[in-house]
């Protein structure tokens, strides 16, 4: 992921979480990277130039941030998006 994309994702995550300061930027940067890697490990072929993949990473990172103190299951809308992305990838495999 290039630096401009990373900056954009951090700004989107900060908007989602309601942050206006830079005090947690290092943590949020690590959370974005971790979210991208975790989604890739789930078998998703993410393209960080696509806005829907960027938003999936941001939403997943926001869930991880909110979920760090007490466990809440992954929201259904994120589960469905991950599932749909996996199906989309499977549908475009080598034929």
Upper half-sphere CA count for residue 52 (Cβ side, 13 Å): 8
Q: Domain count of the chain?
A: 1
pLDDT at site 71: 87
Confidence at residue 9, expressed as pLDDT on a 0 to 100 scale:
98
User: If the chain, 95 residues long, is cut into consecutive pieces of 10 residues, what is the mean pLDDT of each piece?
Assistant: 95 97 96 97 92 97 94 95 89 61
Domain that holds residue 71: 3-91
Return the pLDDT at 66.
94
pLDDT, residue 31, reads 97
Do 68 and 61 contact (CB within 8 A), yes or no?
Answer: no
Say what the pLDDT of residue 94 is: 56
């Amino acid at each position: 992921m290039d630096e401009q994309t990373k900056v954009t994702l951090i700004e989107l995550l900060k908007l989602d979480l309601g942050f206006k300061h830079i005090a947690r930027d290092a943590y949020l940067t690590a959370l974005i990277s971790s979210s991208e890697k975790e989604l890739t490990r789930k078998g998703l072929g993410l393209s960080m130039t696509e806005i829907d993949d960027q938003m999936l990473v941001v939403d997943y990172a926001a869930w991880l941030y909110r979920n760090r103190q007490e466990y809440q299951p992954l929201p259904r809308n994120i589960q469905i998006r991950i599932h749909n992305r996996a199906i989309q990838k499977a549908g475009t495999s080598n034929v």
